[in-house]
Amino acid sequence: MRVSLELKDLAKYPFLKESQQFIGASTDTIEQFLAGASGRIAVRHAMERIRVSLRMAERDGNSERIPSDSIDVKLSISGYVLARIIISCAADRALMERLVRYEAGRAYAFLLDEEDMKRKYVASGVGLQLGSDSLPVIQYVETVAGLHEERWRLVNRDVVGGRVAVSPQEMNELLKEQIRVVLLRQLPLRVPEKVCSMLGPQVGEIRDAYQKTILEQFGAVEEACFPPCIQALATALTAGTNLPHSGRFALTAFLHNIGMGPAQIIELYCRAPDFDLSKTQYQVEHISGRSGTEYTAPSCAAMRTYGLCIKSDGICARINHPLNYYRLKKRKEKKEPTSPSD
């Protein structure tokens, strides 16, 4: 497929090999680059990228000013690369998830305005053939793993000869997910310790900003505002019931998402009669993202599939995720007005 990319396309889609080649010709080491004036500007670009990713999961890329001259395009792509380096130094899966979700949303917003050929070309750069009417099962499962609508579940799809049928419209929808999955698969990058220590102040700032974001989103932890499913799991745990793996996962991921630290979560598990500190510590840290495991609490649809949905009050009818229940209940408790998105 012959498609000519313009300079600004390299800034729009910094993950393409052409974009990486564009900045790859320098003879400087990364340490030398970071110590120079261009490095300092690129770090600023990187920090802005990460900050935006913390404030919002996705972004309308069309509102972003895209550079078109060579120097600014290089700085923009360097900012993308450095953001991934800083996040890798922070070694927190939640931060990586946020960054790739933002990058995928940003690129996808640009792609919506591109002509077919260019969209197909960028899609092929992340391994998705937009003209095709099916995907290999393994690729399909990996790509839809973060999508919770019933229609994406494999049992609801036509599978023929090891391929899953996907309509052209759905293939377009999957493009954003495919970018996200590919970028996430590449993280964390292997960054030399010396580089991480040069970026230490930025890593610290991002960790603090993330904590602050969680606190702003959820405030202090209030058990009284837990959704019925999570309350039921916590109660069952206290009563000495052996929770299934899906229950432990849902409870731990939920508590992690609302800002509870591993120590606080382990304290909750202490109430269980079969409490085993080292096993619990391992599980909690695993689910909290330290080892690259999915960390987001399951949606209501997924909770229903696991048989963990209680659905016992009016708020449940208005939300599709236990985290939204928690946010809404906290706002109601404070008698604050709710936004239309709730």
What tokens does 26 get?
């320098």
Query: Which is it for strands 134-136 and 163-165: parallel, antiparallel or unpaired?
Result: antiparallel
Options 309, 327, 329, 330; binder of ligand SF4; rule CB under 6 A: 309
Tell me the window of 128-136, 143-151, 177-185, 226-234 that interacts with ligand SF4 (CB under 6 A).
Answer: 226-234
Options 187, 238, 310, 331; binder of ligand SF4; rule CB under 6 A: 310
In whole angstroms, what is the distance from residue 290 CA to residue 92 CA?
A: 6
* Cβ-based neighbours of 56, under 8 Å, separated by 6 or more: 102
In whole angstroms, what is the distance from residue 122 CA to residue 265 CA?
A: 42
In whole angstroms, what is the distance from residue 141 CA to residue 147 CA?
A: 10
At 280, which helix (H) or strand (E)?
Answer: helix 277-287
In whole angstroms, what is the distance from residue 97 CA to residue 80 CA?
A: 15
Options 303, 327, 328, 330; binder of ligand SF4; rule CB under 6 A: 303
Residue that the structure tokens 């970018």 belong to: 179
Residue that the structure tokens 């030399």 belong to: 192
User: Where in 227-286 is the site for ligand SF4 (CB under 6 A)?
Assistant: 227-229
Which sign, positive or negative, has the C-alpha torsion 169, 171, 175, 180? Answer: positive
Is 79 a residue that touches ligand SF4 (CB under 6 A)?
A: no
3-state secondary structure of 297: coil
CB 105 within 8 A of CB 176: yes
Options 255, 322, 327, 329; binder of ligand SF4; rule CB under 6 A: 322
Taking the complex as a whole, how short is the minimal distance between the CB of residue 258 and ligand SF4, in angstroms? 13
- What is the full DSSP assignment across 176-241? HHHHHHHHHHTPSP---HHHHHHTHHHHHHHHHHHHHHHHHHH-S--GGGS-HHHHHHHHHHHTT-
Closest to ligand SF4 by CB, 28 or 342: 342
Is 325 a residue that touches ligand SF4 (CB under 6 A)?
A: yes
Taking the complex as a whole, how short is the minimal distance between the CB of residue 141 and ligand SF4, in angstroms? 23
Taking the complex as a whole, how short is the minimal distance between the CB of residue 211 and ligand SF4, in angstroms? 25
Closest to ligand SF4 by CB, 80 or 254: 254
# residues near ligand SF4 by CB under 6 A: 11
Taking the complex as a whole, how short is the minimal distance between the CB of residue 306 and ligand SF4, in angstroms? 9
Is 206 a residue that touches ligand SF4 (CB under 6 A)?
A: no
Closest to ligand SF4 by CB, 311 or 332: 311
Closest to ligand SF4 by CB, 231 or 293: 231
Taking the complex as a whole, how short is the minimal distance between the CB of residue 324 and ligand SF4, in angstroms? 8
Is 90 a residue that touches ligand SF4 (CB under 6 A)?
A: no
Tell me the window of 43-51, 165-173, 271-279, 306-314 that interacts with ligand SF4 (CB under 6 A).
Answer: 306-314
Q: Site residues (CB under 6 A) for ligand SF4?
A: 227-229, 300, 303, 309-311, 316, 322, 325
